[in-house]
A = this chain, B = another copy of it.
C-alpha cells in the first residue's frame, strides 16, 4: 500500500471528510462543514487551502465558483485505496447475511439469485452475480431427449448448472439408434465440455451411419453450448434500487445502463476482470469506458469452491457510492458464498 504521505495526512483527512460528507448528503461540501466535522481542530481557512490544493491535484472538483467541493473519480479512487480502515458492517446487515446463509441451499444458481437480492438489500444498489459457466466445468451428465420432431441434448455441469440445445431430428432415425446414442452419451462425464464434445465426436466416428448422424448433431449442439452458454450468464437483483438515483441522472445515461444490464456482455467483461483480482475490486466512473459512460461504480469480488474460482459477485451504483459499506458487504458475502460453495462441492 502506498503510504498516505503521498498526499500528507491532513490532505488525506480532508479528502476523506469531503467524500463521506458528499456521499451522505449529495450536496457539494464547503470548507466550513469540514472544519467542524473532520475533527482536525483547524480553521475553515486552512481547510480552504487544502481543498484548493486537492483540487489542483485532481481529487476534488468545483461545480461553480462559489459552491463547495465534490470528489472526482480520482478522489474516490484515493479514498478507496488509501483511506479508511475496513468498515465493520452494522449488526442488522450481519444478521441479514447470516440469516440468508442459514437457509439450507443446495443449488448454486438459486443461491446466487438470492445473493443478488441480498447484496441489493445490503447496499441499496443493484446486486450482480456471475455463475460458473457450464463451458468451463466438468460435465456430470449428458442426456439426449426425444421431443418428437426434434431432439434435445442436455448437459449438467458440476455445480448443477443445466444447459440444453434443441436440434432437428435426423432423417429416418430409428428408435433403436436413438436409444443407443442416448446410452452412449450417458457414459460421458467428469470432463469439461470441450473434451466431452471431442468424446462424442469420437463415438460418432465409430458408430453406424444412423447413429453417427445423431451424435454429430449432438456434438454440434455441445459446441454451440461451449461458445455461447445459455442465458443468463449474469444474474441481476434489485435494479429498482437504482430508480432513486436515476431521477437525478440524465435519461440517456440511465438507458445505457439498463441496456447493459440486459445485454450482459459489458458487465460480464467488467466482472470477469474484477474476478481476477482476488479480493474486492472497485471500478469507478471514468476508470473504465463503460462505467464512465453511465457514471457508475462497480464493486466486485470473486468466490471459490476450495481453490477453484467459480464466479464473481458485486454491486453497481452511482459513483457517489458508499464504498465502505459496499466493499464490506461484497467482501463478507463473497466469503460466506465461498464457504458454502466449498461445502457443496465437497
Contact = CB atoms under 8 A, between A and B. Distances in A.
Contacts of A258: 239-240, 242-243
Given A147-B160, A152-B160, A156-B145, A166 B255 contact: no
Contacts of A71: none
Nearest to A251: B247
Contact of A106 (B166, B247, B261): B166
Interface string A142-185: 01011111101010101010101111100000000000000000
Contact of A145 (B140, B246, B254, B261): B140
Contacts of A143: 141, 143
A146 B147 CA distance: 24
A273 interface: no
- Mostly, the A contact residues are mixed
Given A107-B165, A143-B141, A167-B106, A262 B244 contact: no
B149 A140 contact: no
A231 B113 contact: yes
Number of this chain's copies in the complex: 2
A259 interface: yes
A1 interface: no
Interface residues of A, number: 44
B262 A237 contact: yes
Contacts of A164: 107, 160, 162
A167 B106 CA distance: 7
Interface of A: 106-107, 113, 140-141, 143, 145-150, 152, 154, 156, 158, 160, 162, 164-168, 231, 237-240, 242-244, 246-247, 251, 254-256, 258-259, 261-262, 344-346
Q: Which 8 A-B pairs rank lowest in CB-CB distance, beginning with the nearest?
A: A106-B166, A240-B258, A243-B255, A240-B259, A247-B251, A107-B166, A243-B254, A240-B255
12 contacts: A106-B166, A106-B167, A141-B145, A149-B346, A150-B344, A162-B162, A239-B258, A240-B254, A240-B262, A243-B251, A244-B255, A247-B251
